[in-house]
Amino acid sequence: MTVTSDLRANLVPSTAPIRAAARALERAERKLVLVVDADGRLVGTVSDGDIRRALLRMIPITAPVTKVMNASPVVLRPGQDIRPVVQEMAAKLIRDLPLVDDQGRVVDLRSIEAPGRLSGRPNTVVIMAGGKGTRLAHLTQTCPKPMLKVGDKPLLETIIERFRAQGFSNFCISLNYLGDMISDHFGDGGPWDVNISYVREDEPRGTAGSLSLIRERPSDPVIVLNGDILTQMHFGALVSFHQEHGAAATVCLREYRFQVPYATVELDGARIQRLLEKPIQTYLVNAGVYCLDPEVLDLVPAEGRVDMPDLLNELMERGCPVGSFPIHEYWLDIGQMQDFHLAQSDYQRLFVAADD
């Protein structure tokens, strides 16, 4: 049992918005936000899953944190025997419990490690890096898109380092266009303290087809993502969310807003009921990151093009549950030239500054 003495990063006042809790989760080492009143008394807790379930219900991130918090969390008291709750907490994938005094004021946050828990994550990360990146014009004529430099290093290197920092060390990279430039740069992954294997497409197989080329089927859920994504998302939270909800596949979603350039009307027959001036429409869109149960890989045919929507639709037709995981962290798909330029400034502001 490890005691965290500095709670400032985990505390959020009960008057704060959901956004404040999301930011606290991104900063804090212990992934549990403690919602407190003006006297420091615990009024609730917020986990990463609480935030993401709220986003799926389309609750605005500006809404009060009290709308999404667990108002009846399990707590520890000073001197309480922790052993009876260890197995229960491990089964619920809960690692942290607040310690409160007799007045309900937060004293500490304690981490419960289940016996035999692995320090690293066994999940394989499959990175799709075979596309030509034609929308980036001259930049990708002699360089595969994942090897374009964002900041001072290739984008793919940043992706691998972000995973490694979160405990993931097993990678499989799918290659096609100028694939030797990628395998020559990364090799077996030794310099990054990771294990990298490769699969090579003889012809373009789509965004899921190369999954059939993986030689040994993993025994744990697999993360699959496109090799052109710059993100600060927590991949461990994705795996936990996927397992908690019993999904065969989980699709990461990103909020996309589009402002209609005209006033819209709501009609009742021929009569106008309401006019809205240039409203903003909000959608949840596919973010190009997935978590798949190992058995899903068996559904990918050995030949032909298969895109991820094809695979997901087949799962749903078979009655297999396909879940959703909204991303509230920074995310950028570097698909077009303006995205590439935006990534340069965002990288310096969010990634380099954070590391300093």
Q: Are 35 and 46 a contacting pair, CB within 8 Å?
A: yes
Which of 90, 111, 132 represents a domain boundary (last residue)? 111
Last residue of some domain: 66, 91, 111?
111
pLDDT in tens, 192-211: 999 999 999 988 899 999 99
For residue 289, give its domain range.
Answer: 121-355
Strands (DSSP E) along the chain, which ranges?
2-4, 11-13, 33-36, 42-46, 96-100, 106-111, 121-128, 149-150, 153-154, 168-175, 195-200, 222-226, 229-231, 249-259, 264-268, 271-276, 280-292, 322-326, 331-333
Q: Express as a percent the part of the chain with pLDDT over 70.
A: 91
Whether 110 shows a pLDDT value over 90: the answer reads no
The dihedrals phi and psi of 188, each to the nearest 5 degrees, come to: -90, 5
Judge if 51 and 146 occupy the same domain: no
Q: How far apart are CA 139 and CA 82, in angstroms?
A: 57
SS3 content of the chain, % helix, strand, coil (to 5): 35, 30, 35
276/306 same-domain check: yes
Predicted pLDDT of residue 4? 44
| Averaged pLDDT, 51-56 | 90
What residues contact residue 219 under an 8 Å CB cut-off, 6+ apart? 122, 294
Residue 354 has pLDDT above 80, yes or no: no
pLDDT of 212 > 50? The answer is yes
pLDDT over 60 (residue 355): no
Which of 166-175, 208-217, 333-342, 347-356 is predicted with the least confidence, judged by mean pLDDT? 347-356
Share the mean pLDDT of the chain: 90
Name the percent of the chain lying above pLDDT 90. 71
Backbone angles phi, psi at 139, to 5 degrees: -65, -30
Crossing angle for the helix pair 235-244 and 48-56, nearest 10 degrees?
Answer: 70
Same-domain status, 91 and 215: no
Q: Supply 121's token pair.
A: 């994550």
Count of the separate structural domains present in the chain:
2
What pLDDT score was predicted for residue 114? Answer: 44
Q: Copy the structure tokens of residue 308.
A: 């991820």
Task: Identify the three-state secondary structure at position 48.
Answer: helix
Q: Tell me whether residue 243 is in a domain.
A: yes
- 207 and 268 belong to one structural domain: yes
Residue 270's Cβ-count burial label (10 Å; 0-12, 13-18, 19+) is exposed
Distance from C-alpha of 51 to C-alpha of 49, rounded to nearest angstrom:
5
Q: In this predicted structure, which of 32-46, 72-86, 311-325 has the lowest mean pLDDT?
A: 72-86
Cα 141 to Cα 27, 226, 297, 325: the distances in Å are 39, 19, 32, 34
The C-alpha atoms of residue 109 and residue 122 are separated, in whole angstroms, by: 27
Q: 94 falls in which pLDDT band (50, 70, 90)? A: low
Give the length of the chain: 356
Residue 318 CA to residue 55 CA, distance in Å, equals 27
Q: Tell whether 195 and 323 lie within a shared domain.
A: yes
Do 212 and 69 lie in a common domain?
no
Asked whether residue 116 is domain-assigned, the answer is no
Does residue 294 lie in a domain region?
A: yes
**Domain stops at, among 57, 91, 111:** 111
Contacts of 317 (CB under 8 A, 6+ apart): none
Q: Do 246 and 345 fall within a single domain?
A: yes
- Specify whether 300 is located in the same domain as 336: yes
pLDDT tens digits along 133-169: 889 988 999 999 999 999 999 999 999 999 999 999 9
The DSSP bridge partners found for residue 46 are 33
- Domain with residue 282: its CATH number is 3.90.550.10
Rg (CA), the chain: 23
Q: How far is CA 263 from the centre of its chain?
A: 36
Same-domain pairing of 170 and 102: no
Question: Do both 128 and 164 map to the same domain?
Answer: yes
Whether residues 137 and 255 share a domain: the answer is yes
Mean pLDDT of all residues in 283-296: 96
Task: Report pLDDT for 353.
Answer: 57
**Can you tell me the distance from the alpha carbon of 3 to that of 83, in angstroms, rounded to the nearest whole number?**
15
Query: Quick one: 106 and 180 in the same domain?
Result: no
